[in-house]
Structure 1
């Protein structure tokens, strides 16, 4: 079902209460700051369906893989992002009745996520079972300025009675994960203590020594005046609370403010956690809610200054892009190279919160254009730091001599995915990591990174590809057997076109980088060769593979085949399917999906998107027109690629359709799965759909290109990008395209619709 949010350019608004929409809203209204994250659960007790979620970046649990059989090389665990201490909780009792919206009559309901300022608010008027009516107001944010701090301002106003209100402000570490395989509790108690107006809970994960401390400071006011009443103090296993009881008259406002500091031993010694969180929580309380909020909003203002995209004439499209950008920016801030971007970010538990190839294929271009280079560089360093683990992963599968297979899913470099067709066969992920090194170098001009770190990664990946192929005497070419491409609705296929393509490209790219190091960085070359123990015969083998790789192709159709024998399938377009069959992954058996022609995301189009310079327009059109009609887009990563290629071939209607699908995937719940979290990594694809799709931006080694198009129902759009130390603004309207440098003094080579220009600060380019 769909959560029927209102259209607004800067806000996500739900102006009604529907118990069936609560879990979806909890995902959509999630907030975070790169270190902490929180689903939009109600602060007060709620007995309806809910998925509680408070998350701490980098803290996970190696849950035992649950399978009925075992194979060599199989991962021993699946990493779980952990639901951590519930820090937002405030139990409310009104004249002995517990406030529970599932049991109340809702008179008015308003829930708002202000994306411009990163603030979550809720206003509810309701009638309790005792016929007493109240107005509830809640404001929440997780500070972008003080990364350990979350704050809540929560108030109750009696509307038709005088009476007693009790608030219980608490921290609760007795939490569970909804996706645990064996209903396990993942946390051990270390300590807890409750004082008047303060308290803390300290816990440690089982199996791994992650220690986390949350420290709470609470303040009670009536009509904004602080109340000095002493709370009752509760202290029990992994739980602390202060209970405030206050008599209020009709129309008075009783309010609790919570200031919670949370951090882990990833950033402080175990012995320092309590002192650190206490100090931060107390200082936050002293500064006050309004001052903390102002500092938080100021950070968001600076963030939006470099990443905002404006759309004139289409509120649904505008809301969609800002929602996607907002979620990306509050998920990953690039401060810590040990962190990455989970597919659900801080919005849910699905996929384990781990790192996938999504980061390299989709997210790095976004962060390069909207943040300083260090943010994207840290994502590359993350993989470099895990190279040894990638080599170990390959060794478990029988590969040797420094061959590296990066995991499909990971927290620390170890593979932890628990489906064999993904773990063993979806090896294309290796190529995306090499592609990201190339994209970073092209975008920034920072080849020094390749020399110092990147070359190690791409050589390890190339060694894997060289061992993973085998020479077919029947074809007199190299082939790759038993793989799964990005389209996971095909398993264990031979010669997946995309996998063969990205493997061959990686070998060529690695050889090109080694050649450049030898010619232009001679002082480093011998060091690199010695460090990698590189042999001349590897050059020869790689070149031979590049020149003799097999790619399935159909001469009659003029299209690359997704894999061998793809045309044995009955090719029927998705439009001929009864909509009751969709989404296939929720309606059909796996056997039926595998035998059908329907594609989760088109492998071939992914490869053409990455390497479009190698193909003429006719080839791109033929492949797009063949694969798009049989693609069901049940991967969140799919629509953006189709948008970009549709824009490339001037298929405006399809480009716009795919833009709405990627930008509003979660807002409109296209795939009927938003209740367990938003699709964070694919949100970078929404940004790509405008910048690389409609605006046609391409990055070459020495210049940047644009080929702008404008959807028919838009008056215009405007975006900014950071490019080699300059802040560029691109504006596309019905009158033409304007490109200018807002900040920076470089002269930039720009190609617009095939014409070359010099862009300088004082001379914007205007194209009619």
Structure 2
């Protein structure tokens, strides 16, 4: 398989030439979504070759029963996963009774697929010779509307090139679908009703166990050379299928077109008894607008998104394509309007990881959404965690913690833990710290303290109670320790005193104590409510402080660095450079036992801590730790290159920073991990944005002031980005000689550039 077949382009993802071996990878790369639903780029017509069918509805999931060899106390009973939903995109096409199927055609030429990121649509075109020797030209365009987010639209054109032909379009709905990723091959969907009315069809179905009620719907119109034909199609239905047939005698070189509108209404947004009525209303709006007008509206909606979110790069098309690909998919996955939704690691592009919420959201995604959208979007992500606080307390109770201690789940859909690997579920507890850090980071960036007395302080108290109880006192070292954990580096399980975990635990307690005082002084009514609800006491806070002040951190005097965990130096310290490249990636070549005994680091661990808490350490300390740990890092996590790119840029290692940037931005486009067919790495895409804005742009908040230390790779002529800082849009443009700042707003803004104060006036260019 050719892993480098995507054509470099500033605004589009392009594929030319049909290769069945690339179909599943392309289905991931060309995925589309609108925040409410998404789908892999499956063909509309039948395809009998290897394919991964996938359509997904935001927030609709199934609790697939956990499958483990030996049950342990505290194991989650199920692994919640996003469901492959009933499909609405299908259009069977037959030409003189021969079905169009690219896998079965005699010849396919001029195949071209484009995902236009600027305007938010997917297109495909090809010329195919069917088994009956009729040659047809096909052109399709598809999008999921941002404006009417329950509906998507397809424009499918077919033209017979070498003879007249009887052509049938058979648009259909199919609820007889399964997940590619299941534990027990359970039946996930129960079809309740299949019906139709005129050109509209509806399948009502509900999920097993979770009882999400949905209506999948469609309506179609057909045209010859743009002129409407056939008002009454034939209808057929089966238990899980509804289809119309539109047959027409098409002359040679005439274009036969179908416009298909489809999508979902869900009881998350409507009364479950009114889903068909809601579908009819949505279809009414879509068909009244028509395909062309709906597409124009789509282009306008994406134009508004790009106005703030775009990053431009001059002189490096692959780098430009990479960052826009990342920004595009982040906006397709999460719009920020619904606080019950979150960002799954695969978004709407596949089923791995269950589509659930990980610590990725707080550690990587919140900075992107804070700076490219209204702050309310990031606030909704934090509200999501507050809404799950009671479940986090329940999760901790199942593991033996008490008194309102909260352990947020490693993986969740509804607040309950649903990850079933013990070394993750029980031990990767550092995720609690990322949630607390996100609260701090949100206030630091937006200046909006109101979230903390309203919701955030209760979350911080629950998390700090957990850390206090999880630490234990070592009389041998006269220090508090945290034993039996897995840090961000998942190639080390069940270690003692992972530095990052211990440091973030101490930081969480210190930050919570500081925040309690701030709320007590400035928000006394809220403090009374919170203290009454949590029964917090001076005695308890004193015990927390004792743990934070006496936390143990493993350190090597020989290397003058903190150790990733106790015993790290006991390993055979062979760097990645000296590792046989035939052994890479080690997660696909080695046994787990061998990985755990090796020094190899999956992703930033200690360096993740230096990224979060860089103000606590000098640049010299960062340099020592970067030089010691990066040579052992295999970067086999999608979350690793972005953090290393930021750190390398801070250390003026621009060639390294650029290499890491390319790897994070083109992780999926170039399929570094040989797994893109499973779906895209959505949450790491936010890290790509950070690697430019925080890495090359050097954006930070220092002393409550927006600060930049701009740098530029030698490979680029210039780059620019915008950030929304406290409701003022700042555009930063960097070239090899200077940096320009422009403010969209009506109030002057004081910023820091390379440590010096600069005032930007409204709509006035400042050059540094």
TM class, shorter-chain normalised? over 0.9
In 1, Cα distance between the equivalents of 2:11 and 2:160?
Answer: 31
Is 1:58 aligned with 2:59?
Answer: yes
Q: Look up the match of 1:652.
A: 654
Q: Is 2:499–2:554's contact at 8 Å kept on the other side of the alignment?
A: yes
1:176 match: 178
Shift, 1:134, TM fit: 0.8
**1:86 matched residue in structure 2:** 87
Unaligned 5+ runs, structure 2:
none
2: distance between equivalents of 1:678 and 1:144? Answer: 21
Indicate which of 664, 667, 679 corresponds to 1:665: 667
Q: CA deviation at 1:17?
A: 1.2
What is the TM-score with the length of structure 1 in the denominator? 0.99
The answer to whether the aligner puts 1:75 opposite 2:86 as a matched pair is no
Give matches, 1:344-383, under 5 Å: 344-383=346-385
Distance (whole Å) between structure 1 residues aligned to residue 505 and residue 702 of structure 2? 21
Aligned partners of 2:560 and 2:29: how far apart in 1? 43
Deviation at 1:3, TM superposition (A): 5.1
Between the aligned partners of 1:655 and 1:35, the Cα distance in structure 2 is: 35
Greater shift, 591-600 or 381-390, is seen at 591-600
Which deviates more, 179-188 or 472-481?
179-188
Q: Superposed, which structure 2 residues align to 1:81-480 within 5 Å?
A: 81-104=82-105, 105-228=107-230, 230-480=232-482
- What's 1:709 paired with? 711
Question: What secondary structure sits across from 1:190 in the alignment?
Answer: strand
On the 8 A contact 1:194/1:242 being kept in 2, the answer is no
Report the CA distance between 1:756 and its aligned residue.
1.6
CA distance in 1 between partners of 2:764 and 2:6 (Å) = 43
Distance (Å, rounded) in 2 between the aligned partners of 1:90 and 1:583: 40
C-alpha separation in 1, matches of 2:763 and 2:427: 53
TM-score, normalised on structure 2?
0.99
Could you say which residue in structure 1 is the equivalent of 2:628? 626
Distance 1:663 1:207 in 2: 39
Q: How far does the alpha carbon of each residue in 1:91-141 deviate from its partner, in whole angstroms, 9 at most, with x for none?
A: 111112111101121111000000000100000111112222111111000
Aligned to 1:755: 756
Q: Counterpart of 2:636 in 1: which secondary structure?
A: coil
Whole-angstrom distance in 2 between the partners of 1:719 and 1:585: 36
Distance (whole Å) between structure 2 residues aligned to residue 714 and residue 20 of structure 1: 34
Name the stretch that deviates more: 78-87 or 518-527.
518-527
Give the Cα–Cα distance (whole angstroms) in 2 for the partners of residues 764 and 116 of structure 1: 26
CA displacement, residues 647-698 of structure 1 (integer Å, 9 cap, x when unaligned)? 0111111100000000000000001111011000010000000000001101
The alignment partner of 2:13 has SS state of: strand
- Hey, what's the Cα distance between the residues in 1 that align with 2:95 and 2:231? 18
Alpha-carbon spacing, 1:561–1:297, altered in 2? closer, same or farther (3 Å) = same
Superposed, which structure 2 residues align to 1:349-748 within 5 Å? 349-700=351-702, 702-742=704-744, 744-748=745-749
- Is the contact made by 1:198 and 1:242 (CA closer than 8 Å) also made in structure 2? no
Using the alignment, how far apart are the partners of 1:23 and 1:735 within structure 2? 44
Q: Are the aligned partners of 1:31 and 1:330 in contact in 2 as well (CA < 8 Å)?
A: yes
SS at the partner of 1:257? strand
The answer to whether the 8 Å contact 2:88/2:263 transfers is no
Partner SS for 2:103: helix
Matched with 1:36 is 37
Distance in 1 (alpha carbons) for counterparts of 2:50 and 2:702:
50
Deviation at 1:702, TM superposition (A): 1.6
CA contact (8 A) 1:194 1:234 kept: no
Structure 2 contact 410–424 (Cα < 8 Å) conserved? yes
Matched-pair contact (CA < 8 Å) for 2:151–2:262: yes
In structure 2, C-alpha distance between the alignment counterparts of 1:415 and 1:497, rounded to whole Å: 25
Which deviates the most, 97-106 or 523-532?
523-532
Q: Tell me the distance in 2 between the aligned counterparts of 1:464 and 1:597.
A: 30
Aligned-pair RMSD on alpha carbons? 1.1
Other structure's SS at 1:273 match:
helix
**Alpha carbons 1:340, 1:382 under 8 Å: kept:** yes
- Summarize deviations over 1:614-659 as a string: whole Å, max 9, x none: 1111110010011111111111000000000000111111100000
Native 8 Å contact 1:443 1:700 kept in 2: no
In the aligned structure 2, how far is the partner of 1:326 from the partner of 1:536?
A: 49
Deviation for aligned residue 1:585: 1.1
Whole-angstrom CA distance in 1 between matches of 2:418 and 2:163: 56
Q: CA deviation at 1:701?
A: 5.1
Bigger mean CA deviation after superposition, 725-734 or 515-524: 515-524
Secondary structure in 2 matching 1:101: coil
Change (3 A) 1:49 1:462: same
Q: Does structure 1 retain, via aligned residues, the 8 Å contact 2:314–2:718? A: yes
**How many residues align structurally?**
766
Deviations 1:524-547 (A, max 9, x none): 333322222101112211211121
Structure 1: tracts of 5 or more residues without a match: none
Q: Distance in 1 between matches of 2:690 and 2:17?
A: 33
Instruction: Flag as ranges the 4+ runs of structure 1 deviating above 3 A.
Output: none
Q: Assess, with a 3 A threshold, how the Cα gap between structure 1 residues 351 and 123 changes in structure 2: closer, same or farther.
A: same
